[in-house]
Amino acid sequence: MTTGIRLLAIDLDDTLLRDDNTVSAYTKDILKAAQVEGIEVLIATGRMYQTAEPVGKALGIGDVPMVLYSGGLVQCIESGRKLYEKTIPLATARKVLTMAKERDWYIQAYVDDVLYVHHETEFSKSYEKATGATAVYIGDALYDLDGEPNKLLIIEEPAVIDTISRTLHEDMGSELAIVRSKRHFLELNPPQTSKGEALHFMAQRLGVPTEAMVAFGNSENDISMLEEAGHAIAVANAEEMVKAVADEVCRSNEDDGVAHWVATHVLGRNEA
């Protein structure tokens, strides 16, 4: 049993959530049991509030803060109260959007919890289905946004994303935080933004020391959070780069890996 744990920071997609975008009753029970023991539960996701809020409410863990946009926003599940927010400077966002237009990259923008897309494509339909988001199609107005976005997201085939990532790191690496959240998702966030930074902010706010935090993740955008926490756990289905920085590997997202680890190592239950 890992003693002294006071905060659990948990990624959603492919970590806490099963592949069908649901959470088991067992996982919900374990998270609530952890809260009863006085342990903070912090959801940390690349999602927007619109698509994270239903999942947060379904967990039944109360009006706790969620880290959204891979660290760019901390917002409470039920009340929607914002505790922390960073946005991409408009000039920077427009520069990227112009590059996307010229090079025919699929890109979507998140402004004030609205998902903006140029026009409906297979990528946009797949994203809406997977996350429950509702896209607003605005044509070329996408390339001339009025508001600063919380995040820009490029969706392409993995090989194409590799090329785009190299290009953006070379041209915009000092102006954006660029990280993958899935093999075909490239997130563009405000500079110096990460789940690790947001976890640091929340830990200071709650008075929780590094050694009392456990972080769970599966993808590149979780690495900063795993490095920030005293205990870093990768799910079995995590990318190899994530497993490389983790202290342990638990069961997969499909096998309630997070919940089983918490039950055994935090709550002291005898799990098979």
The string of DSSP codes covering 3-19 is: TT--EEEE-IIIIIS-T
* pLDDT at 182 (0 to 100): 87
Residue 235 phi, psi dihedral angles, 5° rounding? -75, 160
Q: Which is nearest to 17 in space by CA: 59, 73, 69, 66? A: 59
Q: Which CATH class is domain 90-189?
A: alpha beta
Separation CA 48–CA 42 (nearest Å) = 15
Distance from C-alpha of 151 to C-alpha of 246, rounded to nearest angstrom: 26
Question: Cα-atom radius of gyration of the chain, to the nearest Å?
Answer: 18
Measure the CA–CA gap between 166 and 95, rounded to whole angstroms. Answer: 16
Angstrom distance (rounded) from CA 194 to CA 93: 18
The topology under which CATH files domain 7-85+193-265 is Rossmann fold (3.40.50)
pLDDT score, position 108: 98
Element (H or E) spanning 42, and its range?
Answer: strand 40-44
Kindly tell me the sign of the dihedral angle through the C-alpha atoms of 67, 196, 192, 11: negative
Rounded CA separation 264/131 (Å): 30
CB atoms within 10 A of CB 174: 7
**Residue 3 CB: number of other CB atoms within 10 A?**
8
Residues 165, 180: contact at Cβ < 8 Å? yes
d(CA 225, CA 219): 11
Same fold, 7-85+193-265 and 90-189: no
How many other CB atoms are found less than 10 A from the CB of residue 148? 17
What's the rounded Cα separation, in Å, for the pair 7 and 208? Answer: 7
Amino acid (1-letter code) at residue 43: I
Query: Residue 130, SS3?
Result: helix
Domain layout of the chain by residue ranges: 7-85+193-265, 90-189
CA distance 36 to 197: 27
pLDDT in tens, the chain (272 residues): 567 999 999 999 999 999 998 999 999 999 999 999 999 999 999 999 999 999 999 999 999 999 999 999 999 999 999 999 999 999 999 999 999 999 999 999 999 999 999 999 999 999 999 899 999 999 999 999 999 999 999 999 999 999 999 999 999 999 999 998 888 999 999 999 999 999 999 999 999 999 999 999 999 999 999 999 999 999 999 999 999 999 999 999 999 999 999 999 999 987 65
Q: Are 34 and 28 in contact (CB under 8 A)?
A: no
Exposed, middle or buried by CB within 10 Å (0-12, 13-18, 19+), for 2?
A: middle
Which pLDDT value is given to residue 1? 52
CB 178 within 8 A of CB 158: no
Report the predicted TM-score, pTM, of the whole model to 2 decimal places.
0.92
